[in-house]
Structure 1
Amino acid sequence: MSIVSARDYVQSLPKYITLCERNYLRLLRLLPEEVKGEQKTIRIAGNEYRLEITHCAKYTTDVEIAQSHSLIKDLPLWGMHVRLYHDARVAEVVYPNYHQRVKPSYGYPNPDMHQKDEKYQVNAFLGDWLTACVENGRSNFHWEVNNDLV
């Protein structure tokens, strides 16, 4: 007789930190000046997004990314709140617009049908979106040799 054990999902921390470090660098390329209330509009594929700095502190900056216009009228507009940790040089989705905080992992199945690795997936989506913005010329960022980002 075999016993099936339900193992909890364990996130790969090195993989997750690498994703958050890359998101930090990508987001720096798109951000307006780091002043609370500053905004920047990004247009990509007929959609319009607003990046707004909602909070600035010594070691963190909070950014709200919100879709303000879409070509498809029946789809809801999306958004997310991202926190940049300047001392660690990582950016992490604090919460997407469909629920509050994202837990590191969820049991499965669960009442809200979150994926086991929902936190990783939400941050991977942010990475894909930022990459699309940067690769399609939506950023004005000039690399300097000694800026400690590379």
Structure 2
Amino acid sequence: MSEVVTQHGYIQSLPKYITLCERNYLRVLKMLPLEEVGQLRRVTLADAQYVIEIDSCAKYTTDISIKQISSISVFLPQVHLSVRLYHDAKVAEVVHHDFHQRIKPSYGYPNPHMHQKDEKYQLNAFLGDWLMACLESGRVPLNWDVNNGMV
């Protein structure tokens, strides 16, 4: 008896992805500089220096870039992420990395550029891990308004 094997493409779990982006949004808000184009916030994590810069602001979105400005090792590439914050949906999503073209939701595998099937999810998971590391052990002034402006 023979079986017919069908090959299915990668299917992303949308609830899992949205939850990740919602958590990233809350983490990014704690680290954002003043929301004006060109504003910077410097972050020190381990021996590396990073800059979070506001690229553009609109009514419902804010584009930021996260750039590594000092290298830890010559063998590790420097980080550069472009992140879009959607204020109406309260999610943050990586839209570009290392100046590449827009990230597709999924890729066929193999592909000419050797992207992973779930590259978009992996980049957003990396952003979440990086943000957690910054909040837990990095040196960054945080945006905490514990009294909600009531003082």
In 1, Cα distance between the equivalents of 2:135 and 2:76?
A: 24
Whether the 8 Å CA contact 1:31–1:40 is kept in 2: the answer is yes
> By how many angstroms is 1:141 displaced?
2.8
Is 2:137 the counterpart of 1:141? no
Counterpart-to-counterpart distance in 1, 2:99 and 2:13: 25
Matched, 1:72 2:73: yes
Aligned pairs (5 A) from 1:4-43? 4-43=5-44
Following TM superposition, where does structure 1 have runs of at least 4 consecutive aligned residues deviating by more than 3 angstroms? 143-147
Runs of 5+ unmatched residues, structure 1: none
| Equivalent residue number for residue 108 of structure 1 | 109
Worse-matched range after superposition: 86-95 or 3-12: 3-12
List per-residue Cα deviations over 1:72-112 (Å, max 9, x = no partner).
13432120100000000000001111521110011111111
Work out the CA distance in 1 between the residues paired with 2:99 and 2:69: 16
Q: CA deviation at 1:143?
A: 5.0
AA of the residue aligned to 2:26: L
Aligned CA-pair RMSD: 1.6
- Going from structure 1 to structure 2, the CA distance change for 1:13 and 1:145 (only over 3 Å counts) comes to farther
The answer to whether the Cα contact below 8 Å between 2:62 and 2:86 also exists between their aligned partners in 1 is yes
Give the count of matched residue pairs: 147
